[in-house]
Structure 1
């Protein structure tokens, strides 16, 4: 095929083990330095710089400068969604690098997927919103209904401001741990931010795990999920 999207180039950029480890580390949504990413990949800083340059040139990263320091993050949510999909495919086809254990169980329950909530709790939120008619899929596009607009506004999310942004309000993201959908887009990001602002949950510094307190999990279930658990 000589014309059309060059998926081979993107696959090659993501397919190198060191680059894959660095990209996965950025799925927390945090911006990391080249030194931190080198440690995540188990390579030297010089080798990491070469890999990061390739990822940056390929449009997969965003470079942020603060004084003399440089930080890297994923270019956008589309990159995160592709990575999440590849993780799901790896799990489905049995390509696992470690045995499952307690840490994996925590990841399956609740984790951050770039900037929104994933895992069982993210899926429960998506299913609840769909079941209560807050979200609908029309012509293949996920949309927030007027009823859903009222609900999330009442929860503290400024939907009017979100709609004025360039990024999509709602996106469906395939969850690698269950191969079911959770909510991405600016709404998914805003809901996770509000959950954290209320003190219900906190991201763990050393992983993608989102840890809910007992009170926070109860509030999440009563105020966001209701009786629409999957």
Structure 2
């Protein structure tokens, strides 16, 4: 069964003639770990933001479990989790206060919320830091809390934008293990990253995009086999997108 389907999805900004995404048609099955890869400015964040309802498309539609944001937005938002690249945390609040707040947005409360917060903090190795302010956390600690804010409610579909950027190897290991466990329990994951070796090991299927267009799609093995002499996903990526340095944000 499909979890996500985009239909001729396009986005341009401020009336510009160039598109951050144009006529994108993607289908993601339930239980997949789907990677969106591309250079800086390729349109990854734009696409994932449209998929999870944070950004309105210029044209086209997004369906999640056959539901459309146009008429089932509230119902959809209860089923999804979003972990943005930028920290979605209140720095002067404690880790526990942040998690209680974000949990309340998903109608979690009372002992249920308390137990989820404590279990989550224990899972990421931060239970002893529950009453510490986020502003005093390291980058890796913030990343782990940032992840928890998006998964406390056990979403059916989880959107991740660079979930391991700038973290130490230990924090990365914790984050990836949690994501694999979520997927094992049925959560569909949509994920962007610049860590190509991580994506190669983690994703069940990958789409490589550039300049708002889909260049190639398939399993990691299919992508590697599709390019002559490619040894890994990095070789495929460079073949498709070139060696030129990108300065786009």
Question: Does the pair score TM above 0.5?
Answer: no
Q: What TM-score comes out, normalization by structure 1 length?
A: 0.24
More strand by proportion, 1 or 2? Answer: 2
Give the number of the structure with larger relative contact order, counting CA–CA contacts within 8 Å between residues 6 or more apart. Answer: 2
Question: More helix by proportion, 1 or 2?
Answer: 1
